[in-house]
Amino acid sequence: MRRVVSYVLIGLGVFAVALGLLLRFYAYPRLAKIPLDIDSTSVAQGSGVTSVVVAEVDDVPTPQIRHGLNVTSTTYVTGDLTQPEVVEDGDVAAWVEATKTVDDASGILIDASLRELCLDRHTSEAVAPCEGQYLSVEQGKRITTDPNTVQQPGLSFKFPFGTEQHSYQLYDVSLRRAVEARFDGEDTVQGMDVYRFVSETKSARIGQQEVPGSLIGRDEPSITADRYYSDRRTTWVEPKTGVIIAVEDIGKQELVAPDQSPGEGTTVYDGTLALNDKTVTGNVKQAQDNIGKLSLLTFWPIVLLIVGGVLILAGLVVLRFAMRQERWRG
C-alpha cells in the first residue's frame, strides 16, 4: 500500500514540476505579448504654457507667440492588421499613433504628428522589416525609409514585460531618434508600485525654418532660423507588465537667428504636459488586469515547482520506508 502511495506522490510531483516548467518556459513567452488590435486614448494637459499659435488676423493666418495657455494633447493608438509583418499568433505588431495638441480656449491646433511602426510583441521595441513605417510631423509630408531599417528605434508605447532597474532607449518624435531613459528610482502612483525613468535632452538642433521676422523681433519680412529643443521626460512604469502609468514632459523650444547662439533665441514653446488623472487611472487598471493574467504564468509556476518538489521528496521518503519494511519482513 505504501508503494502505491509513494508512486502516486511521485507521479503528482512530476506532473506539477512539468506543468510549472511548461507554464514558465513555454506558455509565458507565447502569451506575454502586446496585442495586435490595440485601441487606446491618452490625454495629457498643461497650464501656463507658452507656444506659437497660428491665428487669423484680417483673414490671414499669422503665427503669434502666446503665453499662459491651457493646452490638451490627445494621443490615439490603434493596431494596423493590414501590414504584411502582422500575422495571427506572430511576434510582430504594427501600431499607428496620432497625436494632436490644442489650445483649450481657442481650439487652435498647436502641434500634431502621425506615425506607424512595427514592434516586437515581447520586448515592445521597434523592429524591421516594416513595410508600413512612417513619420509625419507636418501636414501632407510623410517621412519614410528603407523597410529593412528601423526608422523609430527603441521603445515608444510601453516598456518590456519584466522591466528592470537599468536604462532603456526611448524614442523621441521631436529628435527623431532614441534617447536614454535612465532608471531613477522606485515610486508609487495611485497606490501602485512603479519604476521611475528620466530622459533628458539639452539644446538639440531639430531643424530649420523660415519665419516672419516679426515673430522673433526682427525687421526683415522673413528670416531663416534654427529650431532648438530641450526636454526632460519622466516616465513611471509598472515593472511586471511594462505598462506606462504616468508621464510628465517638461519641454522648451526656441528659434535661433543666424547671429545668435542657442539660449539667445526666441522661445516658441515652454511648458509642462502630464497625463491627466483619468488616463493614469485607466493605465493603473490596465496594469492590474495584466498583472492578474501574468501571475498565472509567473507566480503559479513557482508554486507548482515547489509543491512538485515536495511531493516527489515525500514520495521518495515513503517509498524508501516501504522498501525497508519489505526487507524486514523478508
User: Between 29 and 196, whose confidence is greater?
Assistant: 196
Range in 26-30, 46-50, 169-173, 183-187 the model is least confident about: 26-30
Instruction: Please give the single-letter amino acid code of residue 171.
Output: Y
pLDDT for the residue 304: 46
- A 10 A CB-CB count for 198 gives 16
Average pLDDT over the chain, rounded to an integer: 86
* 212 closest CA partner among 194, 224, 195, 196: 224
- Distance CA(258)–CA(210), nearest Å, equals 12
DSSP code per residue over 229-264: EEEEEEEEE-TTT--EEEEEEEEEEEEE-TT--TTS
DSSP 3-state assignment of 313? helix
- Distance CA(279)–CA(43), nearest Å, equals 6
Given a cut of 50, whether residue 280 has pLDDT beyond it is yes
Q: What are phi and psi of 242, to 5 degrees?
A: 80, 5
Calculate mean pLDDT across residues 277-304: 78
Quick one: what percent of the chain has pLDDT higher than 90? Answer: 67
Calculate mean pLDDT across residues 281-299: 80
pLDDT for the residue 328: 64
Q: 39-62, pLDDT tens digit by residue?
A: 999 999 999 999 999 887 766 778
327: left (phi over 0), alpha (psi -120 to 50) or beta: alpha
pLDDT for the residue 307: 53
